[in-house]
Structure 1
């Protein structure tokens, strides 16, 4: 949080006072640290799957204390629900009720993750009912979690299993502190392509990554996270932001490129710089964006057109150039927003642009896959930035309190963690996915 409220209600005398008065007490979230364990305690695995033993062996190799079916009196760091072979709604009863009893044993910052299959119109009615029911269960459970714990799901297309590479990558992401502000969400694994990193603390080692809009805020956090994860980073922003851009670059050993992303040759400049200076271009993060908010009744062409030009038209143009260049295994990650999913008052232009990003990502997946690449998007919710810091304290605090379960805004680093994951080779099977980083709220950034 940007202010002192969380500190006051979680420490010392003021913690006791807040509890006595019944004030909301946002939990401290378990965020990523290279030295921290993957989970804060043992993992309980519930349900049946033909991959259960192989999956358990993999989890043990990750250093997890895996318990099958019953953890006794142990406090738990997580629960894994194997629901990928459930074929009738009644089959959920035993697993979910057992999970419900185990929830009381969860440690702060614990994780609940499910494996399931997508519902289809071609399924038998009972199968489709069970699979769609799992969607409702996981999203609802996410709203019931406490202590900074979260619930998320991994949906496996029919050709994949829980031990497919991208399924394991998604599972590790959801278990880790990287997913601290991701709750009640699903990732669909469409194939098992990609490779898990040799070193999980350096998943982008050897990669060259470009981040647009990197001079400050979320863009700067993305650049820092990609560099931390092993990538050589190129930070891009407008010439007017040159001083701030240089500070970001100097702090992480990046190179800088000053350009306007709406320029016709922006993609060519990016490719020339990345390949000329660093030998390749492996990851592009389309982060550059602007807001020009106004009720539609008062909207003028300048406000509308500038937002569309920067937030979506520039990405479409650059992606066309990247595809034409046939760069091998290129991974694109774009910044969408929950405003593009649920809308936001006074942001019709912004919502059109961010909804456009989501449509672009889903439609472009097959095009990037043809050359071994992928494209995905992250849709942030209420993220603590310089912009949200300008909201009056009372209004800002109330806005956070209405957020489900986590009761707080996210940090730029939460967005950056998701982008680094989706830009990795291990996430190749998540091509075309849009991941909300919003604490299960649809309050848009």
Structure 2
């Protein structure tokens, strides 16, 4: 992984002066710890019990939280200006802005999205802004989501709209069994590490060719290594999970490949291989997990999409198609899993600092790093922390969501 030399320069004495004088991107060092941002200033309806538990105090604020549940008419939107206009400049480094709304089935509630996304682009010094829609009756199911968004673990998540639809029991991943595909390196290894940190036994899966790296990851997290090509018969995987662990609680479909060519130069083998690994085999695995009751009650399935599946990308028609398909898979299966007391969600990473992105040309890499509100690339752990939030037993009310981990990339929705 390459060091972001521009970020180091921008943090130096001379660099800070030039960045300020020339209006250059300013990639502020992000806080990635588990502590909640404090003190918190709360405004609006304050209908959520969890808000009363937050530590309040004088400026500078760690977070500004506004409960916009009572906003029903366009004229009510003035409450946003009244609360944030005098306080937004009092937000400290790596501050958090969270707006809480109801289901976006009214003009005024839908308007909250534009407000939050614009605020996210105005914040400086590593600040983020997100919107949480809380369905009626789900007020007690939002704690897991707010804890994630208020902590440093959501460092690279900004400009997102999250829907909490129901209440779920609290709990941890301690003693749960989690399957992570493509776990031998990069984002997959980070996901395995974070889930292991949270107490899960992680089954680390990858192709036999990655066996040595896979074993190192599995040993480091106290999990087990499974060398398996996921494009084969899913019965081998389901049999392993049932025989060794009696089932599985969390499934993270991280395995994926790229075979980039412009469409005119892309032969059918490049198309077929990407669609097979990134989408088709995941559908087959999900079907087998559900039909054979391998996914336990309260189970979690997490897909890994991409900003390419939302905005598209030159030379990646196959990849973007597969990653948009992951979003479709989430939307299709969400009600099916809800009926079984389970959930399915997806992360959509933007530019993440991995060996793969370190190999792209310098100019392309720099554009990827700077074209977001935080003016820097994310880390594999940023994706992993978002996956862990989805996987948490306390996130049972979060179902059918696709959350971009992209620092609020300036391209895409």
TM superposition score category, shorter chain reference: over 0.9
Give the match for residue 138 of structure 2.
160
Give the match for residue 248 of structure 1.
217
- Residues 260-288 of structure 1, C-alpha deviation per residue, up to 9 Å, x if partnerless? 11102x3x333333343344410010001
Cα deviation for residue 98 of structure 1 reads 2.4
Give the match for residue 285 of structure 1.
252
Give the match for residue 295 of structure 1.
262
Give the match for residue 165 of structure 2.
190
Give the match for residue 55 of structure 2.
65
TM, length-normalised to structure 2: 0.94
- Residues 363-419 of structure 1, C-alpha deviation per residue, up to 9 Å, x if partnerless? 11122223221111111111111111012334422332232x200111111000010
Give the match for residue 123 of structure 1.
none
Cα deviation for residue 12 of structure 1 reads 4.1
Residues 1:139 and 2:117 aligned together:
yes
* Structure 1 residue ranges without an equivalent (≥5): 121-127, 198-202
* Structure 2 residue ranges without an equivalent (≥5): none
Question: Equivalent residues in 2 for 1:40-119 (5 A)?
Answer: 41-49=38-46, 51=47, 54-57=49-52, 59=53, 64-66=54-56, 71=58, 74-119=59-104
1:177 to 152, 171, 196: 152
Cα deviation for residue 152 of structure 1 reads 0.2
Cα deviation for residue 23 of structure 1 reads 3.5
Question: Equivalent residues in 2 for 1:30-429 (5 A)?
Answer: 30-33=31-34, 37-39=35-37, 41-49=38-46, 51=47, 54-57=49-52, 59=53, 64-66=54-56, 71=58, 74-120=59-105, 128-161=106-139, 164-165=140-141, 167-192=142-167, 194-197=168-171, 203-264=172-233, 266=234, 268-326=235-293, 327=295, 328-403=297-372, 405-429=373-397
Distance 1:243 1:38, change over 3 A: same
Preserved CA contact (<8 Å) 2:371 2:410: no
Question: Equivalent residues in 2 for 1:426-445 (5 A)?
Answer: 426-441=394-409
Cα deviation for residue 90 of structure 1 reads 1.4
Secondary structure class of the residue paired with 1:183 = coil
Secondary structure class of the residue paired with 2:96 = strand
Distance 1:9 1:317, change over 3 A: same
Distance 1:443 1:220, change over 3 A: farther
Distance 1:442 1:219, change over 3 A: farther
| Distance in 2 separating the partners of 1:396 and 1:213 | 23
Cα deviation for residue 84 of structure 1 reads 1.0
| Distance in 2 separating the partners of 1:231 and 1:99 | 40
- Residues 13-49 of structure 1, C-alpha deviation per residue, up to 9 Å, x if partnerless? 444454455442211111124xxx311x310001124
Distance 1:56 1:285, change over 3 A: closer
Cα deviation for residue 307 of structure 1 reads 0.5
- Residues 333-356 of structure 1, C-alpha deviation per residue, up to 9 Å, x if partnerless? 010111111111111111111111
Give the match for residue 8 of structure 2.
7
- Residues 83-128 of structure 1, C-alpha deviation per residue, up to 9 Å, x if partnerless? 01211121121332321221111110111111101232xxxxxxx2
Preserved CA contact (<8 Å) 2:238 2:288: no
| Distance in 2 separating the partners of 1:22 and 1:85 | 39
Preserved CA contact (<8 Å) 2:298 2:396: no
TM, length-normalised to structure 1: 0.88
Secondary structure class of the residue paired with 1:441 = coil
Cα deviation for residue 175 of structure 1 reads 0.5
| Distance in 1 separating the partners of 2:69 and 2:222 | 44
Secondary structure class of the residue paired with 1:344 = coil
Number of equivalenced pairs:
409
Secondary structure class of the residue paired with 1:288 = coil
